[in-house]
Amino acid sequence: MYSVLYPDYLAKDDFKYEKPIANGICNLIKYDAKQANEIPDSIWNKADALVTGLYMKIDEALIPKLKSCKIITRMGVGYDLIDEVKCGEAGIVVSNVPDYGTYEVADHAITLIMNFARGISEYNRLLKENINDNWHHSSVSTIDRVVNKKVGIIGLGRIGTAFALRAKAFGFNVSFYDPYVPDGQEKAINVHRFNKLEELMTTSDYISIHCLANKETTNLIDSSMFKICKSNLVIVNTARGAIINLDDAYEALKSNKIRAIGLDVLPKEPADINHPLVKAWLNEEWANDKIILTPHSAFYSPTGLIFLREKALKTCIDHLQGIKTSNCINKEYLN
């Protein structure tokens, strides 16, 4: 029997969906940990596979303890908490589940944009304040017609493409920046490609971020980008919090260099209530129609989460049994 360790398992249903898959093949071990030292070395040593979540770092200090591990599957798309290079050098495959949550994240991103464009949350807030005085279409001054407005996408992978199709349905003119997408993909879905991020930033009315978080994309959107964008820019991030410099975003909002921001992800989660942007969202009147936060929930639907949990475990088992290795992201580093 194999041993599969879930070091930061969040579900409270005792492997309801994993047990039928694991039956007779592997033992499932769960911890609700955030640091490696919360789990005994003996548990790390004997795990044949890991399925990791949102919190556990698999780094250079931990990897030597993974004496039996053959594969680590990230229960999600992003793998920024896993040192894929060191894992590869140790002979450990790192995989992800890139096809889960595509519909949900794309829906969430376009909904954030349409919320700002149509003023839904702000109308709702104002009506709660004074239903008589604010019962008028002009109580929100930022309403926009999105047909022919320019929306830019950073990262045209599965989710970015799904978002592009939704944006086209609303009548947006869609462009993207992604240096890793092969030539011709823009023709397949009839969108415009920019070869420089700066070109996307200077022309877009709305921007949606759908790229991975890594050394190249950390603080990709910072003060230098906010200086060149349109003052009416609405930017939403459903990818990873590290991609937008939150300090610079706050300054851009406060100084009206951009119109609004919608964030499902933050550099620190849960949200740091002492950060100026979060403070403004909580308490400052000027931010009421400029900031929307959601709790890293863009990926979530009950159906999508079941798919994710099942596929993460199947990915581990398929590799351990020599059936196939799916969605390996560190092939080039494997010994």
Catalytic residues: 240, 269, 296
* 189 close to 210: Cβ distance less than 8 angstroms: no
Q: Backbone phi, then psi, for 152, in 5-degree steps?
A: -110, 140
Three-class secondary structure of residue 133 per DSSP: coil
Cis peptide preceding 276, ω within 30 of 0:
no
Give the Cα separation of 140 and 331 in Å (integer): 52
Give the Cα separation of 150 and 232 in Å (integer): 11
Among the listed residues 110, 232, 204, the one whose alpha carbon sits nearest the alpha carbon of residue 148:
204
CA distances from 86 to 11, 68, 291, 296 (A): 29, 15, 39, 28
Give the Cα separation of 122 and 289 in Å (integer): 6
* 58 close to 81: Cβ distance less than 8 angstroms: yes
DSSP string, 30-72: E-B-SSGGGS-HHHHHH-SEEEE-SS--B-TTTGGG-SS--EE
Task: Report the half-sphere exposure of 7 (CA within 13 A, side-chain side).
Answer: 30
Give the Cα separation of 174 and 206 in Å (integer): 10
Three-class secondary structure of residue 297 per DSSP: coil
Q: Which residues pair with 209 in a beta bridge?
A: 154, 237
- In the chain, what is the greatest distance between 2 CA atoms, to the nearest angstrom? 69
* 193 close to 176: Cβ distance less than 8 angstroms: yes
CA distances from 290 to 161, 167, 200 (A): 26, 21, 21
